[in-house]
Structure 1
Amino acid sequence: MPSVPAVPDQLAELPYAHLLRPHTGPLRRDERYDTALFDGTAFDGPANGASFLECAFTGVQLSGAKLRQARFNEVWVQGSRWVAVELSESEWQDSGFVSSVLAGISGYGSALRRVVFRQCKLEAVNLRGAVLRDVVFEDCLLRDVDFGGAKLTDVSVPGSTLEEVRLHGAQLRGVDLRGAVSLGLPDGPDGLRGAILGTSQLFDLAPQFAHALGITVKDS
């Protein structure tokens, strides 16, 4: 099982909650943010190269924000909506997203380690070439998420629904798909080497496996 941090549902449960201080003003390039609370605000400007340590985002809307090569360490995001955000080559560690929406995200080449997504919606998210290690998608909807060419190690999807999730050219190791509610994998067996499937899931994917192998199945 992935080794991930315990991600609380409430702000007060964060181990650094008592240190948080409200942030005002825009996000800035290459700025360092320590123990900052971003609450109920909206950001849309460039903040490439910024770093966030022990920060919390609650009810925050990021629309078209630029956070390329930003670093997030022990960051908690709750009830937020991030749309068309540039997160390519960003780094995430020991962080969590709770009840949030990520749509139209450019996250190619990013690195996620010990990150939890809980009750989140990820739609049109580009994680091509990303590196994910010890990542959990719990009770999430993953729709049109592209892991093409990514490296996924010890990733699990308990209670999640996968729709149009692409794994073409991905490298999987210990990726546990057994807890998924449904598996919508248009690439079929391509990219599934290294994944863990349940028996019923294997039966569901059998037609795609047969097609990939050039097998015709007829009962009569």
Structure 2
Amino acid sequence: MPRPVPEQLADLPYADLLRPHAGPLRSDERYDTVHFEGGEHTDESASGASFLECAFTGVALSGVKLRQARFNEVWVQAGRWVACDLSDSEWQDGAIVGGVLAGISAYGSALRRVVLRGCKLEAVNLRAAVLRDVVFEDCLLRDVDFGEAKLTEVSFPGSTLEEVRLRGARLSKVDLRGASRLGLADGHEGLRGAVISSLQLMELAPQFAHALGIEVKDR
């Protein structure tokens, strides 16, 4: 069962403590109980910044650098983050609800106890990332690269996976049974350690055969 996620700002346990943010994002800044509401941030740098008990609602980030940023108990709603650099960032106890993540570099990032609900992820680079206790609920993952990543206790209820890459990935207790579609571009051997349904196994059989160099003929 997906864990409960606040749907509205007022549902956050720290909602009454939030104060509005104004101005650009800054590198190495500490943002504590800050509400980022609306607006667009373009080509700014917040590398090394830390966000503790913060909320982003309707915020658009374009080309923003967030390398090595830390997000702890951060809630993101209806955000649009495009071509941002989140390499080596850390996310813990957070949620992203109804957002778009496109052209994102999150190489080497770490996500722990994070829920993504109703999100669209397209061309997201999660190579060498570490994901533990992460839920992708009712999401679209298109051209998402988990190459060389480590996934533990990750699930995909109601999500659609298209051209997802798993080459060199290490999976443990990964539950793919709830995915509405399981489309892999490569790395079928990376499914070792995952749980799939018998129907998914049948659908993947031609891809497994191709990956193993097996030619299937009835006559």
Q: TM-score, normalization: structure 2?
A: 0.97
Query: Which residues of structure 1 form unaligned runs of 5+?
Result: none
Q: Which residue of the partner structure matches residue 10 of structure 1? A: 8
Cα distance, 1:217 vs structure 2: 2.0
State how many pairs are aligned: 218
Q: Which residue of the partner structure matches residue 215 of structure 1? A: 214
Q: Describe the SS at the equivalent of 1:180.
A: coil
The runs of at least 4 consecutive aligned structure 1 residues that moved more than 3 Å come to: none
Output the CA distance in 2 between the equivalents of 1:160 and 1:154: 16
| Worse-matched range after superposition: 209-218 or 141-150 | 209-218
Q: Describe the SS at the equivalent of 2:25.
A: coil
Q: Which residue of the partner structure matches residue 172 of structure 1? A: 171
CA contact (8 A) 1:5 1:95 kept: no
Q: Which residue of the partner structure matches residue 118 of structure 2? A: 119
Output the CA distance in 1 between the equivalents of 2:212 and 2:87: 35
Output the CA distance in 2 between the equivalents of 1:46 and 1:61: 14
Identity %: 75
Q: Which has the bigger relative contact order, CA under 8 A and spacing at least 6?
A: 1
Q: Which residue of the partner structure matches residue 78 of structure 2? A: 79
Please, what is the CA RMSD of the aligned residues?
A: 1.2
Aligned with 2:33 (options 35, 44, 48): 35
Q: Which residue of the partner structure matches residue 61 of structure 2? A: 62
Query: Which residues of structure 2 form unaligned runs of 5+?
Result: none
Cα distance, 1:209 vs structure 2: 1.5
Q: TM-score, normalization: structure 1?
A: 0.96
Cα distance, 1:216 vs structure 2: 2.4
Q: Describe the SS at the equivalent of 2:54.
A: strand
CA contact (8 A) 1:58 1:77 kept: yes
Change (3 A) 1:31 1:188: closer
Q: Which residue of the partner structure matches residue 25 of structure 1? A: 23
Q: Which residue of the partner structure matches residue 161 of structure 2? A: 162
